[in-house]
Amino acid sequence: MADTAKFINYINSTLTVKTDQFMIVGGSYPGAFVAWFKNVYPDQVMAAWSSSGVINAIQDYHHYDMDVYLTTARCLNNTPQKIAMLSQDVERILLGLDTRYNRTDFLSNFGAKDGGINNGEFMYLVGDWAAGYIQGGNADGLCQIVNNELWDTSPI
């Protein structure tokens, strides 16, 4: 939080007219951050908008992934294992261990540039796509994608 306060102070130092009209916005875990920030630094921002701010922040929250696992396990056909295998395949490509794919070309398929995104950021995207289906109430849609006949030939 201190770095955000310092950033606001820096921006104010570059302006010819100082302003207290900053607003900080966040949802989910960032929502918890903005609410906490407004409490700790009440004069730094005019307002804080927390959308679905987490009220019990948990570090290393493994239950999040467990929910995806348990929900997709109901799909049958080894759906959780297929999702895990996709993640492993993508990781091998990003690390240059799968010579069938060029990392730069692979990333460009997603609109990402080699050097513009690190492996951890991209793997977050890969890990989060399944959770998006579950959280959005479309577990059946995820199961249909993973259990489509094309998935077994080339999920990537």
Give the per-residue pLDDT at 93. 92
Annotate 29-48 with b (16+ C-beta within 10 A) or e (fewer).
ebbbbbbbbbeebeebbeeb
Evaluate if residue 141 carries a pLDDT over 80: yes
CA distance 28 to 52: 5
Q: Are 53 and 38 in contact (CB under 8 A)?
A: no
Evaluate if residue 155 carries a pLDDT over 90: no
pLDDT above 90 as % of the chain: 33
Give the per-residue pLDDT at 115. 78
Query: Which is more confidently placed, 116 or 48?
Result: 48
pLDDT digits (tens, 9 = 90+) for 14-68: 887 777 788 999 998 899 999 999 999 998 999 999 998 888 877 777 777 888 8
Angle CA 62–121–100, to nearest 5: 105
pTM of the shown model? 0.64
